[in-house]
Amino acid sequence: MRLADKTAVITGGAGGIGRAAARLFAEEGANVLITDLSEEALAAAIDDIGSNQVSYCVADVTNAADNDQMIAVAEQRYGAVDILLANAGIEGAVKPTLEYDEATFDRVMAVNVKGVWLGLKSVIPAMMRSGGGSVVITSSVAGLSGGPNVAPYSTSKHAVIGLMRSVAKEYAAMNIRVNTVNPSPVETRMMRSLEEGIAPGAGTAVHDRIVERIPMGRYAEPIDIARVMLFLASDDAGWITGSVYAADGGNSA
């Protein structure tokens, strides 16, 4: 029970990684508040997770008031906030840079970077009130190297590493730890979208080509990523802050 008596807020909680993390965190003793844009999707996630330790709150991470509200809801329901899993993210479009439209670029940056920044601004005061905490940010292997036709996504995932490193140094003395997890492709809706974007109508073939380049020979399952997040959220990682954790089956070796 590595998260006994702790409370976690998970953004993007209706998605594959968010659901897996919520289920695992609850199994490890945490009270969990999942947030996302769609109440219908959140309700479905709650049914799928099947734990009375997990509840939900509709929130848009690009909105400062929504970030403040989700932290306030967690404090009201559970007494404190010990963990923020800043997991909400979008892939944008698969297009060359010269063909990319400004509105989609802005949306990717708003969700993937501004959303994390606003989450930090909302949760850090709560963590200071309770004596510390752990923030785990979902980045990507696309935050460790570039990739053709996904420049905004890759840019956003590089950006949150810089954000993480700065905030980790600012608040380490207050026992607030901040780290990133950088997954390789995961068996989720996002990867289905990217595969189809790379080769419309041939997503399965794209999937197979990507698998061939992963040393461990498969995509990650959401639980593979959730287990790394659990470690970083727990006291087992009490001396770890400002670090980048590649969970990529050897992809970046």
Please list the active-site residues: 153
Strand 31-36 relative to strand 7-11, pairing: parallel
Angle formed by the axes of helices 102-109 and 151-171, nearest 10°: 30
Neighbours of 174 (CB within 10 A): 13
Q: Which residue has the tokens 């399965």?
A: 204
Q: Is the dihedral of CA 134, 236, 168, 173 positive or negative?
A: positive
Q: Which residue has the tokens 């909105």?
A: 63
Q: In what order do the strands lie in the sheet with 7-11?
A: 54-58, 31-36, 7-11, 83-86, 133-138, 176-183, 244-247
Structure tokens at 125: 């005061």
